[in-house]
Amino acid sequence: MDPVRAVKGMYDVLPEDSIKWQRVEAAFARTAALYGFREMRTPLLEPTRLFVRTVGEATDIVEKEMYSFAHHDEELTLRPEGTAGAARAYVEHHVHAKEAVTRWYYLGPMFRAEKPQRGRYRQFSQAGGEIFGDPGPGCDAEMIDMLVGFLKAIGVPGVEVLVNSIGSGDTRQRFRDALRAHFEPKKALLSEDSQRRLETNPLRILDSKDPRDVDASKDAPTILEHLSAEDRAHFDGLRSLLDALGIAHKVDTRLVRGLDYYTRTIFEIKGATQKLGAGNTLVGGGRYDNMIAELGGPSVPAIGFAAGLDRLLIAAEPAGAAAVVDAFVAPLGAAAMGPALVLARELRDKGVSVEADTRGASLKALLRRANSLGARLVLILGEGELGRGVVTLKDLAGHAQEELPKDRAVAIVTDRLAAAGAVRREEPSS
């Protein structure tokens, strides 16, 4: 049989890297908690119509990126993003009736069938958050503040905040008409995709990376000219709050974002351009004040964001782990195996991470294994040690060797490791 490989655009995370994922995820959860966000989880599968209705029919995601399938009489889709599911859950559980403002965060895999490349995968992970129930620009500013803090905490270089407003009510329709009028005479100069978008969703032309579309967009009208007084006040409010928070930001009038559900504030955060190149958008977000009502809920304003964790890991290069275990227990000879396993368990009960050899390997092989695990201490139990009631302790860092009374070995090892700052885990609470 041919070797089975992972699905194209999807990848495994092995232990050397999963420690980095844990670090970034923990930093995100910590930052989110500092800002009063609580974790929520939704299923990976949702009814297809949820995404068609919220993300929007004429978007890249719905047009060509969704993993959708029929199962019996259900049309299902592997979630391509997290906001739609969070909003569905918010409506389904009548959360608005329980609290005036809701701050949720989530972490997990998303699925989009796009062309794989560096920083762009078919299964990727997002860390996202939503605030429901607050219409003002204050929570928009606070969300961006939290994200900038998070990116700096994990060491992303060159963080850049871009904001724009997409307006509300009929602003978007008026802007759409203005864009159509602008692009219609240049239709032949646009990419094939954008010629189609001219009919279905001309805003998406501004989002295109095709050089022909970028060129034709240069002197296009900007949405800021079409904002209502209320939309304008919201946008100005956000900008002055970002100034008050000391967050440098740029207004990017080309920014439209790829999803249909946005109203008023939209933003992107870029960073680490040297490592990521053009695909340097780390976070995307925006307000979606109409979605909850469109999903059959009450009229509740909302804003959300999603950060791409795969790209954050490339951007931040978090450190890997120094050591796999603190200590290694090495039985020599069959009779030593039982006592060695007991000794290993006693050490673990004190919070010392231990691998015990269960292969019956030679002393040379055992020491090589202990070294490769980064263990600081090796406890050797051979026939001689068993007879004398001792354990041989080898300090791989200090290259020293000594015999310890067996009944004192756990206490001495624990003390040594604590003094060396090596015991990473907390004592069990029992």
CB-CB contact of 332 with 380 (8 Å): yes
DSSP for residue 426:
P
Quick check: 25 binds ligand ATP (CB under 6 A)?
Answer: no
CA 327/CA 397 separation, integer angstroms: 12
**Is 121 a binder of ligand ATP (CB under 6 A)?**
yes
H or E element in which residue 104 lies: strand 102-111
310 binds ligand ATP (CB under 6 A): yes
Q: Cβ closer to ligand ATP: 208 or 290?
A: 208
Inter-CA distances, 414 with 351, 370, 419, 420, Å: 8, 17, 9, 10
Q: Does 213 bind ligand ATP (CB under 6 A)?
A: no
**From 31-39, 149-157, 158-166, 302-310, span contacting ligand ATP (CB under 6 A):** 302-310
314 or 413: CB nearest ligand ATP:
314
When binding is defined by CB under 6 A, the residue of 17, 25, 114, 395 that contacts ligand ATP is 114
Tell me the CA distances in angstroms from 262 to 99, 125, 291, one per residue in order.
23, 21, 9
Smaller CB separation from ligand ATP, 144 or 370: 144
Contact call for residue 127 and ligand ATP (CB under 6 A): no
Q: Which residue is nearest to ligand ATP (CB)?
A: 308
Bridge-partner residues for 302, per DSSP? 132
Task: Give whichever of 258 and 384 is closer to ligand ATP, judged by the CB atom.
Answer: 258
Largest CA distance in the chain: 95
Nearer to ligand ATP, 167 or 304 (CB): 304
- Helix axes of 192-200 and 171-183: crossing angle, nearest 10 degrees: 140
Q: Segment 260-279, which members bind ligand ATP (CB under 6 A)?
A: 279
Q: Does 377 help bind ligand ATP (rule: CB under 6 A)?
A: no
For residues 333 and 165, the answer to whether their CB atoms sit within 8 Å is no
Burial of 38 (0-12, 13-18, 19+ CB in 10 A): exposed
Q: Among 314, 312, 310, which Cα is nearest to 120's?
A: 310
Residue from 28, 90, 104, 124 touching ligand ATP (CB under 6 A): that is 124
Q: Among candidates 200, 165, 203, which has minimal Cα distance to 182?
A: 203
Q: For residue 112, state whether it binds ligand ATP (rule: CB under 6 A).
A: yes
Span near ligand ATP by CB under 6 A; candidates 114-122, 135-143, 314-322, 329-337: 114-122
Least distance to ligand ATP from the beta carbon of 215, Å?
A: 19
Instruction: Tell which one of 90, 308, 331, 366 touches ligand ATP (CB under 6 A).
Output: 308
Site string for ligand ATP, 279-298 (x = CB under 6 A): x-xxxx--------------
Smallest gap from Cβ 306 to ligand ATP, in A, equals 4
Q: Are strands 263-270 and 281-287 parallel, antiparallel or unpaired?
A: antiparallel
The span from the CA of 144 to the CA of 129, in Å, is 11
Binders of ligand ATP: how many residues, by CB under 6 A? 18
Smallest gap from residue 281 Cβ to ligand ATP (A): 4
**Nearest to ligand ATP of 291, 327 (CB atom):** 291
Residue 304 burial by Cβ neighbours in a 10 Å radius (0-12, 13-18, 19+): buried
> Is position 304 an interface residue for ligand ATP (rule: CB under 6 A)?
no
Spell out, one character per residue from 54 to 93, where the chain touches ligand ATP: x when CB under 6 A holds, - when not. ---------------------------x------------
Using CB under 6 A as the binding rule, whether residue 120 contacts ligand ATP is answered as yes
Beta bridge partners of 126: 108, 308
Q: What is the 3-state secondary structure (H, E, C) of 202-236?
A: CHHHHHCCCHHHHHHHCCCCCHHHHCCHHHHHHHH
CB-wise, 103 or 270, nearer to ligand ATP?
270
Rounded to 5 degrees, what angle do the CA atoms 120, 122, 128 make? 75
Of 331-370, which residues contact ligand ATP (CB under 6 A)? none
Tell me whether residue 119 or residue 331 sits nearer to ligand ATP (CB atom).
119
Token reading at 325:
């275990």
Nearer to ligand ATP, 147 or 386 (CB): 147
Q: Which residues in this chain contact ligand ATP in the complex, by CB under 6 A?
A: 81, 112, 114, 119-121, 124, 126, 258, 279, 281-284, 306, 308, 310-311
